[in-house]
């Protein structure tokens, strides 16, 4: 088995230039991580189709929500993957640990591609699907920390921001690759064939990517810093205890609240939630939305490298804090501008024919349920869920206790219905009647079922999406170097992985579900943006006040 040339372990003595050995380390680590993110993002990009395939026993709204929750389940377990694989990485080495993670991810993704749907095997289909999502989440929880630590421990002093910024591009490049494969399959197969069976092809291709990734990573040698530490007998025998149940635990907590939580919500708002907003709220056709997102990613991605390089000169902290601040201040105007340029008919209809939900406030629940154990069946919840899923803004009017909710569209009133206690067939029949009446009233008032392609200002939408991606690059480009430098070598893999994956897995991963619940509760299609704004503002305050700048830290000590 071949391996990379050994790179000197002491960061302060390394030449500040990009050698062939460094290039191979960066390429091998980054390419494998791109493939792993590709696998993970396929599910999110195809959530609407997956809802029909695996959650068809539920009504469309509930099915889509459960599909999003299954997507979030992969994020929920990432911190546990960080603990499991972080511990292994600090005890037995970086290389072998993130070789295992990519195998788990690749096999799990391939199995999603061959998994029969609900129509074939019933309730077993969603159960197996969620199990595979959990395996993906565990694998991803161990992947990022290993790749970032591995690259950083090869980097010359003064170049860690630049070197690790290549790892930071992998999430965006993985999303970009998944979008391209999906668009290609949709184009060559046609929309109907793609939704029927062609959606499986991107998942099946992951097996080829798995083989390539494993072969590449087998060429790598172990991290030089870890090799030196192991030779001296200084590896940790209890990485979890040392990381989180000692004075180091305070730094891990501050890294979560003052760095990764804000970075996560800016990242997911700028990439995944932007796509969700375009397709689910503004009703832009999926292929067009994906192309515009892909264009924004293409324009914005080089800034990962730029801000990583810049952080070697001005510091990690000021760039990340500036990204959180700018995002918090500008998200509302940006998302409002997306509506104006992508689907101006929504704005016009809301002005001329406002929609009002009249309901007993005590029957209106906050429709967020991350474990999928609740069903929202009151007349208020049914009405609000339908409008939120349709991207229709509305106002709320309180009604006396016991009143069945109704939706007023201009001069037309459509009554909802109580869903609790009804059989599945009765619930479906009532839902079909309500949805048909609501659809007719909205169409008469000018609310579009789909965005009119002729009225989409594509250059402006792409410009706005590119701006959102640049925000992502500000907070994400320097984050790996910052986290690596906050923790000592003997517990670095574990210490940086857990705050990173709680931040990205929980604060970021639940963003679409929380945002949907906020929109459904308020009627304001922009209300979901309050969540990333609040978390980014929290990170700005905590990070500014309590976390140190680390660009001059010698990570060999």
The pair of structure tokens assigned to 253 is 């907590």
Q: Beta-carbon neighbour count of residue 310 at 10 Å?
A: 20
b/e map 113-122, b = 16+ CB within 10 Å? bebebbeeee
Eight-state DSSP code of residue 108: H
Whole-number pLDDT of residue 466: 96
Whole-number pLDDT of residue 22: 62
Topology at the third CATH level for domain 347-444:
Glutaredoxin (3.40.30)
Whole-number pLDDT of residue 58: 63
Whole-number pLDDT of residue 432: 85
Q: Structure pTM? A: 0.83
In CATH terms, the superfamily for domain 20-230+240-343+454-546 is MFS general substrate transporter like domains (1.20.1250.20)
b/e map 427-441, b = 16+ CB within 10 Å? beebbeebbebbeeb
- 342 contacts: CB under 8 Å, gap ≥ 6: 278, 282, 284, 451, 456, 457, 461
The pair of structure tokens assigned to 3 is 């391996």
Whole-number pLDDT of residue 296: 92
Whole-number pLDDT of residue 4: 38
The pair of structure tokens assigned to 240 is 């979890």
- 193 contacts: CB under 8 Å, gap ≥ 6: none
**Three-class SS of 197-250:** HHCHHHHHCHHHHHHHHHHHHCCCCCCHHHHHHHHCCCCCCCHHHHHHCCCHHH
- Give the whole-angstrom CA distance, residue 239 versus residue 242: 5
- 360 contacts: CB under 8 Å, gap ≥ 6: 380, 398, 399, 400, 401, 402, 403, 405
Whole-number pLDDT of residue 489: 80
20-230+240-343+454-546 and 347-444: identical CATH topology: no
Whole-number pLDDT of residue 134: 87
- 13 contacts: CB under 8 Å, gap ≥ 6: 157
- Give the whole-angstrom CA distance, residue 508 versus residue 539: 13
Q: How far is CA 92 from the centre of its chain?
A: 30
Whole-number pLDDT of residue 374: 61
* Residue ranges covered by each domain of the chain: 20-230+240-343+454-546, 347-444
Whole-number pLDDT of residue 17: 57
At residue 414, φ and ψ (nearest 5 deg) are -120, 120
- Give the whole-angstrom CA distance, residue 238 versus residue 429: 58
At residue 46, φ and ψ (nearest 5 deg) are -110, 25
Nearest by Cα to 404 from 370, 430, 424: 430
At residue 327, φ and ψ (nearest 5 deg) are -60, -45
The residue whose two tokens read 């396929």 is 42
Count of all residues that appear for the chain in the document: 557
Whole-number pLDDT of residue 40: 67
Q: Are strands 355-359 and 412-415 parallel, antiparallel or unpaired?
A: unpaired
Q: Tell me the pLDDT tens digit for each residue of 37-81.
A: 787 678 777 877 888 888 776 666 566 667 766 766 777 788 888
Whole-number pLDDT of residue 282: 93
- 59 contacts: CB under 8 Å, gap ≥ 6: 427, 428, 431
Q: Which residues of the chain have pLDDT under 50?
A: 1-16, 373
Helices vs. strands in the chain: H and E counts, helices first: 27, 4
Q: How far apart are the first and last CA of the chain?
A: 31
The pair of structure tokens assigned to 478 is 């320097």
The pair of structure tokens assigned to 143 is 């992947």
Task: Concatenate the DSSP letters of all residues of 25-53 into one string.
Answer: HHHHHHHHHHHHHHHHHHHHHTHHHHHHH
Task: Identify whether the C-beta of residue 321 lies closer than 8 Å to the C-beta of residue 540.
Answer: yes
Q: How far is CA 484 from CA 20, 30, 157, 354, 496, in A?
A: 23, 16, 13, 51, 7
Eight-state DSSP code of residue 163: H
Q: Are strands 412-415 and 395-398 parallel, antiparallel or unpaired?
A: unpaired
């Amino acid at each position: 088995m071949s391996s990379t040339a050994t790179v000197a372990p002491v960061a302060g003595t390394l030449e500040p230039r990009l050698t062939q050995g460094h290039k191979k380390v960066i390429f091998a680590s980054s390419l494998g991580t791109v493939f792993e993110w590709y696998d993970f993002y396929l599910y999110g990009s195809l959530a609407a189709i997956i809802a029909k395939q695996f959650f068809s026993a539920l009504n469309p709204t509930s099915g889509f929500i459960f599909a999003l929750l299954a997507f979030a389940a992969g994020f929920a377990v990432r911190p546990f993957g960080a603990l499991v694989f972080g511990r292994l990485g600090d005890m037995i080495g970086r290389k072998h640990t993130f070789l295992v993670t990519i195998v788990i991810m690749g096999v799990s993704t391939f199995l999603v591609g061959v998994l029969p749907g609900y129509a074939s095997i019933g309730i077993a289909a969603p159960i197996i699907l969620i199990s595979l999502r959990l395996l993906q989440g565990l694998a991803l929880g161990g992947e990022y920390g290993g790749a970032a630590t591995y690259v950083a421990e090869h980097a010359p002093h003064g170049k860690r921001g630049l070197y690790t910024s290549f790892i930071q591009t992998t999430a965006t490049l993985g999303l970009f690759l998944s979008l391209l494969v999906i668009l290609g399959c949709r184009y060559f197969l046609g929309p109907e064939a793609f939704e029927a069976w062609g959606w499986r092809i991107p998942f099946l291709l992951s097996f080829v990517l798995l083989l390539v990734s494993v072969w590449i990573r087998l060429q790598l040698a172990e991290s030089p810093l870890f090799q030196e530490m192991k030779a001296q007998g200084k590896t940790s025998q209890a990485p979890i205890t040392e990381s989180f149940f000692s004075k180091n635990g305070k730094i891990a907590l501050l890294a979560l609240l003052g760095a990764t939580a804000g970075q996560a919500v800016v990242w997911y708002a700028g990439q995944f939630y932007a796509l969700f907003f375009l397709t689910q709220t503004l009703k832009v056709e999926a292929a067009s939305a994906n192309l515009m997102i892909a264009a924004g990613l293409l324009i914005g991605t080089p800034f990962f490298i730029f801000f990583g390089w810049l952080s070697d000169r001005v510091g990690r902290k000021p760039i990340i804090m500036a990204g959180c601040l700018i995002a918090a201040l500008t998200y509302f105007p940006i998302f409002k501008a997306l509506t104006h340029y992508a689907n101006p008919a929504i704005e016009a209809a809301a002005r001329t024919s406002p929609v009002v939900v009249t309901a007993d406030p005590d029957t209106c629940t906050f429709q967020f349920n991350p474990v999928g154990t609740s069903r929202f069946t009151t007349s208020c919840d049914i009405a609000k869920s339908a409008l939120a899923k349709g991207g229709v803004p509305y106002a709320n009017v309180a009604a006396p206790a016991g009143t069945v909710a109704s939706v007023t569209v201009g001069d037309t009133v459509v009554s909802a219905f109580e869903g609790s206690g009804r059989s599945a067939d009765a619930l479906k029949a009532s839902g079909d009647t309500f949805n048909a009446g609501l659809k007719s009233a909205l169409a008469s008032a000018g609310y579009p079922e789909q965005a009119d392609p002729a009225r989409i200002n594509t250059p402006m939408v792409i410009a706005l999406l590119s701006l959102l991606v640049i925000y992502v690059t500000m907070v994400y480009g320097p984050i790996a170097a910052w986290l690596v430098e906050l923790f000592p070598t003997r517990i670095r893999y574990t210490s940086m992985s857990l705050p990173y994956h709680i931040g990205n897995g929980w604060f970021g991963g639940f963003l679409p579900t929380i945002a949907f619940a906020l929109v459904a509760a308020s009627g304001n299609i922009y209300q979901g943006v309050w969540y990333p704004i609040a978390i980014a503002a929290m990170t700005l305050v905590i990070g500014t006040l309590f976390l140190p700048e680390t660009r001059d830290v010698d990570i060999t000590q």
